[in-house]
Amino acid sequence: MSLFAEPATMPLPDRIEDLLIGGRPVAGDGPVMDVINPANGKRIGRIGTSTPAQVSNAIALAQEAGRSTAWGLQPPHMRARVLARAADEIERQADHLAELQMNENGKTRTESRAQAMAAAGIFRYYAAVCECIEDAMPPARGDYFTMTVHEPVGVVAALTPWNSPLTMGAQKLAPALAAGNSVVLKAAETTSFVTLALGQCVVAAGLPEGLLSVVAGGVETAVALVEDSRIGLISFTGGTSTGQSIARGAADRLVPMILELGGKSPHIVFADADLKAAAKSVAKGIFGGTGQSCVAGSRLFVEKSVADEFQGLLVAEAEGMRLGPPSDPESVLGPLASFAHRDRVEDFVRRGVEAGGEILLGGCRPEGEVFADGAYYQPTIIGGMDNSAEVAQEEIFGPVLCFMTFDGEDDLIADANNSVYGLAAGIWTNDYRKAWRAARALEAGTVWINTYKQLSIAAPFGGFKLSGLGREKGLQGLRAYQQAKSLYWAC
């Protein structure tokens, strides 16, 4: 059954939703999983999970569809038509997709709708890329000519996270399909409905049957997908430990991977910065989305001479970010995505305080009847620690900011780079030379200067160190789903 049958409604609590296997609705063969709204603890629906046998069948259908439809051999403009129609369908369903995401992971309705529209934009971008990306004719070194063509890898295993299933799903589906592949997409356990609805939008756009499946379940489902020998590439966004486990399992088969993993991004404020603008950006950079973002600026480094002033500005900004039900248009922050995740965040804060950290803001659940049944947690700032503290080194993935100070530029860069992660960083200064030096010295895949969390689908995105392998987005994001072949032709 379609999750957006007319008129669009939320899934019923007692109805068991179908999966999407080979582009068709199919009941899950595995145990039935409850889907819980983190804002109130109520069950919003149920879904049958995918057994390893069902995953295997989805891969077989994807492999056969890739051959029978010749999707990867179609002229690029033909694939572009489907992607453009998918963008139109996602836009048409934007309100309902936003409602599904809001109810599954607690993002506000405003943010969820913005992400639905962003997902449409991602498909529209890759439809355009299909029309303009070109193969090459390298110069010959003899009596022949040569050309390089790019061909699909085959069946892509795509695994998306629960924090932003619309944009993360689109960032995998659109380039993988544009590159001529078939895809088996595994939904995160807590956001199965919105991921299925996104897949249904793509199928409704006229994608040839069999090229896309959406499966659901836990570890067993994921293992069955990534360890299948017919998978040509694994694209995973999620925690670093899970990414490392996937990489170990794929090593013997030398399966190419795109891994977008964890982060503990430094956000740096120099004394010569526009402190009011920086405080607003730092607050949004860590507390936006309730801190559940891989690029959240969770380590704050402020030059000592302005630390007290900046702390006051920052606390005021954070206190002004209204925490409340995600359906309330006045809410800036919603609940954490699950009760188990809130417990994890709370435990990190408790250990940080026990290790000598000082709570500068928050540090507990909010009080009040409106929060009683939800997985809410206050925006939290912890000071009084250095960069070696556990809370400054481990990815908490919640609304928790570590407030630290620095004296000199050299020591700052050393501390900012003293992390196993290298996904993103932010710099605030009015000295362009200082900004350039710091941006080049920081070990991060994305560096923002006098802004934060500005993202473009046209710019490559990925991390250094344990923040991942490969790049998504941009032209590189499409080429990542292809393999190069050189052809030589004697004259």
The Cα 159–Cα 214 span in angstroms is 10
Long-range contacts of 322-331 (CB under 8 A, 24+ apart): 323/366, 323/371, 323/376, 323/378, 323/379, 324/370, 325/39, 325/370, 325/374, 326/39, 326/102, 326/106, 326/107, 326/108, 326/109, 326/112, 327/39, 327/102, 327/109, 329/109, 329/110, 331/108
Given this model, what pLDDT does residue 8 score?
A: 54
Mean pLDDT of 44-55: 96
Say yes or no to pLDDT of 26 above 70.
yes
Exactly one of 260, 303, 346, 443 is catalytic; which is it? Answer: 260
Given this model, what pLDDT does residue 109 score?
A: 97
The Cα 281–Cα 275 span in angstroms is 10
Exactly one of 107, 172, 264, 284 is catalytic; which is it? Answer: 172
Question: Whole-prediction pTM value?
Answer: 0.95
pLDDT band for position 4 (50/70/90)?
Answer: low
Given this model, what pLDDT does residue 6 score?
A: 47
Residues 408-437 pLDDT 10s:
999 999 999 999 999 999 999 999 999 999
Residues 163-200 pLDDT 10s:
999 999 999 999 999 999 999 999 999 999 999 999 99
Question: Of all helices (H) and strands (E), which one includes residue 300?
Answer: strand 299-303
Common-topology check for domains 16-261+468-490 and 266-457? no
Mean pLDDT of 27-37: 96
The Cα 30–Cα 51 span in angstroms is 5
Say yes or no to pLDDT of 1 above 70.
no
Residue appearing with tokens 């500068």 = 360
Q: For this structure, is 294 an active site residue?
A: yes
Q: For this structure, is 201 an active site residue?
A: no
Mean pLDDT of 345-360: 98
Q: For this structure, is 260 an active site residue?
A: yes
Q: What percent of the chain has pLDDT over 90?
A: 93
Name the DSSP letter for residue 143: S
Instruction: Please name the CATH architecture into which domain 266-457 falls.
Output: 3-Layer(aba) Sandwich (3.40)
Question: Of all helices (H) and strands (E), which one includes residue 366?
Answer: none
Mean pLDDT of 281-292: 98
Question: Of all helices (H) and strands (E), which one includes residue 361?
Answer: strand 358-361
Contact 335, 38 (CB under 8 A): yes
How would you classify residue 363: left for phi > 0, otherwise alpha for psi between -120 and 50, otherwise beta?
A: left
Residues 115-171 pLDDT 10s:
999 999 999 999 999 988 888 888 888 899 899 999 999 999 999 999 999 999 999
Q: Which two tokens stand for residue 375?
A: 């997985």
Exactly one of 294, 303, 317, 395 is catalytic; which is it? Answer: 294
Say yes or no to pLDDT of 362 above 70.
yes
The Cα 184–Cα 394 span in angstroms is 31
The Cα 85–Cα 121 span in angstroms is 12
pLDDT band for position 3 (50/70/90)?
Answer: confident
What is the domain class of 16-261+468-490 according to CATH?
Answer: alpha beta
